[in-house]
A and B are shown apart, each in its own frame.
Chain A
């Protein structure tokens, strides 16, 4: 058989494996990136907490604990390869009594998938925390001071002024993280999760058309990542036009609110 015939043979006989693998990879990447982003914002806020002279003792202690928790979380999950994390979480978890297999609730979301989602989400959250944090630090200090002097509280300023700009600035990096997740979800095959990469070994396990199999998944991965790049580029363009300067928006709202109060 020539390579083209082999590719043809694999697609016609094992096409369902590749589609199932593709679905698993997509779900892992999308859920991992989105939930990871939300968790990441949370950890970024925790790590960016600064002590204020008006804080009482309890607030100080809580802030310090939060900062330590965030720092430890980020450093641990960023510093260990995801493959090692997956092995530790899945089998280590089973050894101390967390049965991932029992947490599965459907054919698709089986125990391996739940564990895989957990690992990729928490792993991404550590990277996202640092991405969001650097985005927040990139927002000019004057914006915080201006917002506070206009009477916005610290949390209001963070949510309405700092975070939107931080996210907008780091949109390309977040998109990059999504592309990384599409590719890195392949290491989760060590815990028995059949994603796109693992579908090759399932499809070629008795015909040995390995090169043909890997060409097929390489093309699928390439299409996925190219589409993502285009989507991100389009998104960051349209975002640029929509939110020109969130601070002026909030400023208008505030002055309007105040005048309403005055009436």
Chain B
């Protein structure tokens, strides 16, 4: 009796996995650029800022640090981060640079606790081994954060002379974590919006990007020239993000797109577009680049 069940179970599993594996799940993706003028009407630019607690004393000092980071430096940092994020093997970087396996702690200094998702390449993601770019994640042995946000966090801590601690939270938990004092600031590719300003404050932007669509390379949408082509097509994005708001506020009312219910992570959205669950997803340009390049591996 038990043997029969076991055989039945394994037969079911094999039957489930084989069709999945025979179809090549990684259908490649392509980026479609929006026209900038369309975004202008939403009154939402896609610049990302550091989130801090209401009336935090950190805001001014952080703004002065950010002001010192030139546009060129920002672009270089983002290009490098995107390259590292899309490489199949982890980029180790310059061997002369120090590799941190544990977050340094100096008792004489105050500590800056930064929260991020560590799941939003190239802004922030998780690596299994340390490199000269990564920073150890708090309370997560063997997990190291890398990305544009991590480099910005390092610069902030260095210039303000603080110890740096980076904690990993899910996207929706970041603002509760900031408000409950678990973290001092959010550097997670978060856009400054009036809704978020109800509960937290933001610094000046530390990166400005463009909103794009990601579609399947085989789909007719890859050749689209007009946003009206989105009529009746399903568009998806991550929950509680500006890229998701754009679908609801612009793509649905003005171009007749269908708003697919938002997913937990951008990786899940990429899978949704790859598998045809959604026809397109909205994303910031650097994120789109790392998704498109990452999925072609």
- A202 beta carbon closer than 8 Å to chain B: yes
- B17 beta carbon closer than 8 Å to chain A: yes
Segment of A43-51, A57-65, A87-95, A121-129 engaged in the interface with chain B: A87-95
- A259 beta carbon closer than 8 Å to chain B: no
B294: which A residues are within 8 A, CB to CB? 206-208
- B37 beta carbon closer than 8 Å to chain A: no
Docked complex Cα distance between A210 and B268 (Å):
7
Give the dominant DSSP class at A's interface: helix
Measured CB to CB, the nearest residue on chain B to A95 is B180
Question: Which one of A1, A4, A16, A87 contacts B142 once the chains associate, using CB atoms below 8 Å?
Answer: A16
Whether A194 contacts B173 by the Cβ 8 Å rule is no
| A-facing residues in B125-159 (Cβ within 8 Å) | 125-126, 128, 139-143
| B-facing residues in A193-220 (Cβ within 8 Å) | 194, 201-202, 204-208, 210-212, 215, 219
A1: which B residues are within 8 A, CB to CB? 26, 297
A30: which B residues are within 8 A, CB to CB? none
Q: How many residues of B contact A (CB 8 A)?
A: 47
Whether A211 contacts B125 by the Cβ 8 Å rule is no
- B208 beta carbon closer than 8 Å to chain A: no
Docked complex Cα distance between A83 and B13 (Å):
30
Whether A95 contacts B142 by the Cβ 8 Å rule is no
Docked complex Cα distance between A247 and B291 (Å):
66
Segment of A104-112, A132-140, A149-157 engaged in the interface with chain B: A104-112
Whether A206 contacts B125 by the Cβ 8 Å rule is yes
Task: Tally A-B pairs: CB < 8 A.
Answer: 105
Docked complex Cα distance between A8 and B178 (Å):
38
A111: which B residues are within 8 A, CB to CB? 139
A108: which B residues are within 8 A, CB to CB? 141
Question: Which one of B177, B179, B275 contacts A211 once the chains associate, using CB atoms below 8 Å?
Answer: B275
B177: which A residues are within 8 A, CB to CB? 91, 94
Whether B141 contacts A202 by the Cβ 8 Å rule is no
- B63 beta carbon closer than 8 Å to chain A: no
Docked complex Cα distance between A215 and B25 (Å):
13
Whether A206 contacts B167 by the Cβ 8 Å rule is no
Known: A4-B21, A20-B142. A205 touches B118 (CB 8 A): yes
- A189 beta carbon closer than 8 Å to chain B: yes
Rounded to whole Å, the gap between the CB of B252 and the closest CB of chain A is 26
Q: Mark A1-36, 1 if CB is under 8 A from B, else 0.
A: 111101000000110110010000000000000000
Whether B267 contacts A190 by the Cβ 8 Å rule is no
Whether A202 contacts B126 by the Cβ 8 Å rule is yes
- A246 beta carbon closer than 8 Å to chain B: no
- B184 beta carbon closer than 8 Å to chain A: no
Docked complex Cα distance between A222 and B294 (Å):
29
Measured CB to CB, the nearest residue on chain B to A4 is B21
B216: which A residues are within 8 A, CB to CB? none
- B295 beta carbon closer than 8 Å to chain A: yes
- B204 beta carbon closer than 8 Å to chain A: no
Rounded to whole Å, the gap between the CB of B264 and the closest CB of chain A is 8
Rounded to whole Å, the gap between the CB of A109 and the closest CB of chain B is 10
- A69 beta carbon closer than 8 Å to chain B: no
Q: Mark B172-206, 1 if CB is under 8 A from A, else 0.
A: 11001101111000000000000000000000000
| B-facing residues in A152-206 (Cβ within 8 Å) | 189-192, 194, 201-202, 204-206
Whether B179 contacts A194 by the Cβ 8 Å rule is no
Question: Which one of B128, B267, B268 contacts A14 once the chains associate, using CB atoms below 8 Å?
Answer: B128
Whether B139 contacts A16 by the Cβ 8 Å rule is no
Whether B173 contacts A190 by the Cβ 8 Å rule is yes
Measured CB to CB, the nearest residue on chain B to A194 is B140
Measured CB to CB, the nearest residue on chain B to A16 is B142
Question: Which one of A3, A194, A226 contacts B25 once the chains associate, using CB atoms below 8 Å?
Answer: A3
A208: which B residues are within 8 A, CB to CB? 267, 270-271, 274, 291, 294-295
Rounded to whole Å, the gap between the CB of B181 and the closest CB of chain A is 6
B170: which A residues are within 8 A, CB to CB? 189-190, 192
B13: which A residues are within 8 A, CB to CB? 219, 222
Measured CB to CB, the nearest residue on chain B to A210 is B271
B265: which A residues are within 8 A, CB to CB? 201, 205
Measured CB to CB, the nearest residue on chain A to B272 is A210
Whether B176 contacts A91 by the Cβ 8 Å rule is yes
Rounded to whole Å, the gap between the CB of A206 and the closest CB of chain B is 4
Extra inter-chain contacts (8) besides given A192-B167, A212-B25, A219-B13, CB under 8 Å: A94-B182, A108-B141, A192-B169, A205-B121, A206-B85, A208-B274, A210-B271, A226-B9
- Write the residues of chain A forming the contact surface with B, with a CB cutoff of 8 angstroms: 1-4, 6, 13-14, 16-17, 20, 87, 91-92, 94-95, 101, 104, 107-108, 110-112, 189-192, 194, 201-202, 204-208, 210-212, 215, 219, 222, 226
21 A–B contacts from the bound complex (CB under 8 Å) = A1-B297, A16-B128, A91-B177, A94-B177, A95-B179, A107-B141, A110-B139, A111-B139, A190-B172, A192-B167, A204-B267, A205-B118, A205-B119, A206-B121, A206-B294, A207-B88, A207-B294, A208-B270, A208-B271, A208-B291, A211-B25
